[in-house]
């Protein structure tokens, strides 16, 4: 059972690391929010589950399971609300910036070659 717990903790740590890289490297709000939500939620859930298994049946493991439930409900809902607010405020993805710039005639001069 210890190996399962350690495997879940390593998986959770790797997913959280991937989420951090995605937030730093991706170009716009929408891709960053996707990178922050998906691996962050799964990483935290697997990390907490691994810690709860490693700790055994105690009060702290019950608290960790409650954290899992809260994160599984709150993180996707909060990201959805942020995405809707970004859309309502007119924030365009990077690909649409390029399309709107070329429609306005301000695209790169070397692009049509």
Taking only the tens place, the pLDDT of each residue in 26-51 is: 888 898 998 888 898 999 999 999 99
Supply the pLDDT for residue 15.
94
Residue 89 lies inside a defined structural domain of this protein: yes
Residue 80, in any domain of the structure:
yes
Is residue 99 domain-resident? Answer: yes
49: in domain: yes
Q: Which residue has the tokens 């390029």?
A: 98
8 A C-beta contact, residue 68 and residue 74: no
Residue 45, domain extent = 2-103
Residue 102: which H helix or E strand, with range?
helix 94-103
Residue 97: pLDDT band (50, 70, 90) is low
The answer to whether position 65 is within a domain reads yes
Domain tally, the chain: 1
What is the pLDDT of the chain when averaged over all its residues? 86
* Residue 36 lies inside a defined structural domain of this protein: yes
Q: Is 53 inside a domain boundary?
A: yes
């Amino acid at each position: 059972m210890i190996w399962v717990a350690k495997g879940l903790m390593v998986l959770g740590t790797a997913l959280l690391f991937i989420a951090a890289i995605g937030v730093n490297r991706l170009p716009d709000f929408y891709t960053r929010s996707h990178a922050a939500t998906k691996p962050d939620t799964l990483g935290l859930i697997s990390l907490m589950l691994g810690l709860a298994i490693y700790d055994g049946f105690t009060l702290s493991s019950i608290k960790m399971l409650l954290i899992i439930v809260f994160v599984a409900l709150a993180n996707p809902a909060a990201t959805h609300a942020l995405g809707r607010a970004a859309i309502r405020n007119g924030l365009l993805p990077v690909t649409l910036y390029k399309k709107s710039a070329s429609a306005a005639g301000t695209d790169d001069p070397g692009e049509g070659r």
